[in-house]
A = this chain, B = another copy of it.
């Protein structure tokens, strides 16, 4: 937890990954992020992985440091409460994140009618409003056909919902960009961020689209070969796979030195009349000539002997670790100051991270867990909407809202 955004109030009516990560990043930088769910929880409330008790490790990971309000979103009275929360007054309020449909009770039109300077960020699937989630957008973009071993033509989906995650971080950026404009005297705005646009734009930003426009072909599938420079996984004598990357001249020189193959590579350069140091693309073009030299060098030693030499030589490499090994990796998890051992709403204690960025000269505050579903219903209704305890009790009695005890 950091305090950079302290005092800002963001209402988050979203589910799954993109919207909730946007709220998570804002909350971990100090904003008060109020996640609103319908009775019993949103559609992601029981998303796997689950504990034995049925609590979602996914939900409690993505909603850390937020407050939770539960309102019956199917009833007019509940919908009106959420509209009032999103548009409650205050120069640090009027910030809203959702993946609800463009039309409907959480439309920008309706909400900006209640608060004209509202800043609304809307995660969407397809830009035309039709259903799309990370994996279906990804398949449309062509990546699964470029992924995986070249000797197997089945499409390979990614496991990491990359489009959701890029969208979530971009939404947090977009919300703050609109807030800065508002702080400088401008009005409210809605920023719509469809996964389909994030995908199409990113594939263009990286040159994939332009490349295919130029060549008329998709980039071919090439396993773990790094496109356009030198990189691949290689196997040590004891069967460990290591990923090696040589993009810059410096990375290339260091790898050759550490592996002791500079002379052999120079012989190939002399034979072909090229300089692999000067041109990363030639390393790629001639990779079939180069691979055997690297394969032999990796196969000559066990990983335990080879990797200290790679580290000492400043080589850019990575082991293929399992998640079990990753958790034991002191740099990733074991000694990483981002992580603290905390108790989560499932009742389990385990390590969880605060903000992904480390802020100097600030001190990291405690990592805050996700709320219990409905934990802050009464507090938020009282503090943000100014409802009396009698009014709140009436809403409970009518089943319009629920607290953590009513789950």
- 1/0 contact trace for A40-58 toward B, CB 8 Å? 0001001111110000111
How far does the alpha carbon of A95 sit from the alpha carbon of B110 in the complex, in Å? 36
How far does the alpha carbon of A329 sit from the alpha carbon of B209 in the complex, in Å? 12
Are the C-beta atoms of A142 and B196 separated by less than 8 Å? no
A320: chain B residues at CB < 8 Å are: 139-140, 144-145, 155
How far does the alpha carbon of A241 sit from the alpha carbon of B154 in the complex, in Å? 9
Question: Given A61-B205, A180-B180: A326 and B142 within 8 A (CB)?
Answer: yes
- 1/0 contact trace for A56-91 toward B, CB 8 Å? 111011101000000000000000000000000000
How far does the alpha carbon of A159 sit from the alpha carbon of B245 in the complex, in Å? 14
Contact of A308 with B by CB under 8 A: no
Contact count band on A: 35 or more
A203: chain B residues at CB < 8 Å are: 323, 326
Are the C-beta atoms of B180 and A179 separated by less than 8 Å? yes
Q: Is the interface of A mostly helix, strand, loop or mixed?
A: mixed
How far does the alpha carbon of A359 sit from the alpha carbon of B108 in the complex, in Å? 11
Residue of B nearest to A178 (CB): B4
Residue of B nearest to A208 (CB): B323
Are the C-beta atoms of B141 and A321 separated by less than 8 Å? yes
The 8 Å CB contact of A218, one of B181, B183, B323, is: B323
- 1/0 contact trace for A129-158 toward B, CB 8 Å? 011110111111111111111001011111
Distance from A14 Cβ to chain B, minimum over Cβ atoms (Å): 14
Chain A, 221-262, CB within 8 A of any chain B CB: 223-224, 226-229, 231, 233, 241-243, 245, 247-249, 251
Contact of A291 with B by CB under 8 A: no
From A187-195, A264-272, A393-401, give the one contacting chain B: A187-195
Chain A, 160-183, CB within 8 A of any chain B CB: 160-162, 165-166, 169-174, 176-181, 183
Are the C-beta atoms of B135 and A228 separated by less than 8 Å? no
Are the C-beta atoms of B357 and A323 separated by less than 8 Å? no
From A17-25, A293-301, A371-379, A382-390, give the one contacting chain B: A17-25
Are the C-beta atoms of B324 and A212 separated by less than 8 Å? yes
The 7 residue pairs across chains A and B that have the minimum distance between CB atoms = A48-B228, A136-B318, A169-B169, A162-B162, A218-B323, A57-B207, A49-B211
Distance from A173 Cβ to chain B, minimum over Cβ atoms (Å): 4
Are the C-beta atoms of B202 and A165 separated by less than 8 Å? yes
How far does the alpha carbon of A17 sit from the alpha carbon of B178 in the complex, in Å? 24
A190: chain B residues at CB < 8 Å are: 359-360
Are the C-beta atoms of B21 and A350 separated by less than 8 Å? no
Are the C-beta atoms of A213 and B49 separated by less than 8 Å? no
Distance from A72 Cβ to chain B, minimum over Cβ atoms (Å): 17
A132: chain B residues at CB < 8 Å are: 316, 318
Contact of A405 with B by CB under 8 A: no
A172: chain B residues at CB < 8 Å are: 169-170, 173
Contact of A114 with B by CB under 8 A: no
Contact of A103 with B by CB under 8 A: no
Residue of B nearest to A344 (CB): B210
Are the C-beta atoms of B154 and A149 separated by less than 8 Å? yes
Contact of A199 with B by CB under 8 A: yes
How far does the alpha carbon of A50 sit from the alpha carbon of B166 in the complex, in Å? 26
A201: chain B residues at CB < 8 Å are: 338, 353, 356
How far does the alpha carbon of A205 sit from the alpha carbon of B367 in the complex, in Å? 12
A194: chain B residues at CB < 8 Å are: 358
The 8 Å CB contact of A357, one of B61, B170, B205, B280, is: B170
Contact of A304 with B by CB under 8 A: no
A366: chain B residues at CB < 8 Å are: none
A315: chain B residues at CB < 8 Å are: 131
Contact of A306 with B by CB under 8 A: no
- 1/0 contact trace for A335-368 toward B, CB 8 Å? 0101100001000101111001111111000000
